[in-house]
Amino acid sequence: MSDIIWGTVTKIISTNSFEMNVSHQKDTNQDGYQDVEEINFTEIDIPSISVDENSRNVSQIEENLKDKFVKCEISGRNSENRLVCVVSHSGAGGY
Amino acid sequence: MWAPQTLFKPDSYDDLITGKIPALIVPEILSKTECSSLCSKISNIQTTNGNPKKFGTSLSSHIYEKSKYFSNAKRSNDSLKKLFAENISPLIAMRETISKIFQKQLTTAIENGTSYSDAVIRIHDNDDSVHLHRDNSNFEMGDYNVSNLKNQLSAILYLQSPEQGGELTIFHKMWNKEDECMREPDFGYSSTLIEDVHKTKILPIEGNMILLNPKFYHQIESVSGTKSRISIGFFFGESFKNYLFSWS
């Protein structure tokens, strides 16, 4: 079972990475995570963000992800010390 | 004092939008007999369908599943029409009342020729409650055209009062973007957001309709007793002056 963290997206770094404030960590996580982490996403469940990285641009990702609450399923860290994750939207703030 | 207003005043709409009042209570838009007749039908359908606690399609369950939302909305709108066929329609009563008091036309929103979901009926049984949340399609539902509607409000009609509890508590605190760091992973927000915040409670009295600004944090208190709390609700917002569109 992979580690999971949740939090809000604070900054878009590139067409496949962003910075987030980590507000929740799964109780059974194997590792601990910083309050601020950089995420490299390999998959994302938001349809407005194209699967093909070449068809994305930063402002489009900003429009869809900035300030949003997301769930990150972690598979490891890359050479840039970013968490490699499958990202999805998490729950809802209301009905 | 920040308290719900029962009598409609000409500036009630603006007062709800600005948060000057937490809610507007419109009493007895349906009689107790009409509510009871509708609830019998709802209970019968519940029994034959495995006791679901929700009838109708909600946008928040389909934030990133747009085509599924519209196909489910079509199906649930047809089911609600059938459910109300031999009774007075609470939806029509709600729409007509809102149109009359605000002097604005109100219809269900349409996108690319397809109707949004008309309403959702929610059933809260003994010990059920709804955690602290706010409703804000402007922020959360960017893929849908209704996210562009201004001055969004929420309408709830109580069809059955529980024996005890089930009050709607509204806190005098409006959501802002910075609060997203206080989100709970599954639903809603941490209760620490509303510690020491002034609040008001509204009893779920059958036949009464409540209009509120859903960007104010709110929650439903725990229901107790064998009688369920049953309500029907939708959201509505302004497209251009005097035209309101609803969805759920």
What average pLDDT score do residues B166-190 get? 94
The percentage of residues in chain B with a pLDDT greater than 70, rounded to a whole number, is: 100
CATH of A3-89, one of 2.60.200.20, 1.20.120.80, 3.20.20.450, 2.40.50.90: 2.40.50.90
B6 in any annotated domain: no
The mean of the pLDDT values for chain B is 94
For chain A, the domains span: 3-89
Coil vs helix vs strand at A7: strand
pLDDT at residue B87 is higher than 80? no
Shortest Cα–Cα distance, B180 to chain A (Å): 7
B4 in any annotated domain: no
pLDDT at residue B212 is higher than 80? yes
Q: If you measure CA to CA, which chain B residue comes closest to A45?
A: B64
Q: Is A19 exposed, middle or buried (0-12, 13-18, 19+ CB in 10 A)?
A: middle
The reply to whether A91 touches chain B by the CB within 8 Å rule is: yes
Residues of B with a Cβ under 8 Å from any A Cβ are 58, 60-61, 63-64, 66, 120, 133-136, 139-140, 142-143, 175, 177, 180-189, 214
How much is the CA Rg of chain B, to the nearest whole Å? Answer: 17
Show the CA angle centred on residue B143, arms to residues B139 and B144, nearest 5°: 90
Chain A residues within an 8 Å CB radius of B54:
none
B18 in any annotated domain: yes
Residue B131's domain comprises: 12-247
Look at chain B and report how many structural domains it folds into. Answer: 1
Q: If you measure CA to CA, which chain B residue comes closest to A88?
A: B64
The whole-angstrom separation of Cα B3 and Cα B223 is: 22
B88 pLDDT tier (thresholds 50, 70, 90): confident
Q: In chain A, positions 40-79, which contact chain B (CB-CB < 8 Å)?
A: 45-48, 63-64, 67-69, 71
B142 pLDDT tier (thresholds 50, 70, 90): confident
Q: Higher confidence at residue B4 or residue A91? A: B4
For residue A89, the model assigns a pLDDT of 86
B50 pLDDT tier (thresholds 50, 70, 90): confident
Which is nearest to B150 in space by CA: B66, B245, B69?
B245
pLDDT tens figures, B13-46: 999 999 999 999 999 999 999 999 999 999 998 8
Q: What is the 3-state secondary structure (H, E, C) of chain B?
A: CCCCECCCCCCHHHHHHHCCCCEEEECCCCCHHHHHHHHHHHHHHHHHCCCCCEECCCHHHHCCCHHHHHHHHHHHHHHHHHHHCCCCCHHHHHHHHHHHHHCCEEEECEECCEECCCCEEEEECCCCCEEEECCCHHHHCCCCHHHHCEEEEEEEEEEECCCEECCEEEEEEECCHHHHHHECCCECECHHHHCCCCEEEECCCCCCEEEECCCEEEEECCEECCCCEEEEEEEEEEEECCEEEEEC
- Is A90 in Cβ contact with B181 (below 8 Å)? no
Chain B residues within an 8 Å CB radius of A27:
none
Q: If you measure CA to CA, which chain B residue comes closest to A93?
A: B188
For residue B241, the model assigns a pLDDT of 82
Stated as kind and residue range, the H or E segment containing A18 is strand A17-25
- Is B183 in Cβ contact with A91 (below 8 Å)? yes
Shortest Cα–Cα distance, B226 to chain A (Å): 25
Chain A residues within an 8 Å CB radius of B189:
93
For residue B22, the model assigns a pLDDT of 96
B7 in any annotated domain: no
Shortest Cα–Cα distance, B54 to chain A (Å): 12
Chosen for mutation from B183, B193, B219, B220 (greatest number of chain A CBs closer than 10 Å) is: B183
Residue among B61, B143, B183 minimizing CB distance to A93 = B183
What average pLDDT score do residues B81-90 get? 88
Dihedral, CA atoms, A75, A79, A83, A86, nearest 10 degrees?
-50
**Whole-structure pTM value:** 0.92
For residue B242, the model assigns a pLDDT of 87
pLDDT tens figures, A33-58: 999 999 999 999 888 888 888 889 99
Coil vs helix vs strand at A79: coil
B200 in any annotated domain: yes
Sequence letter at residue B135:
D
Per-residue pLDDT of chain A (95 residues; tens, 9 = 90+): 799 999 999 999 999 999 999 999 999 999 999 999 999 999 998 888 888 888 899 998 998 899 999 999 999 999 999 999 999 988 788 87
pLDDT at residue B124 is higher than 80? yes
CATH number at residue B163: 2.60.120.620
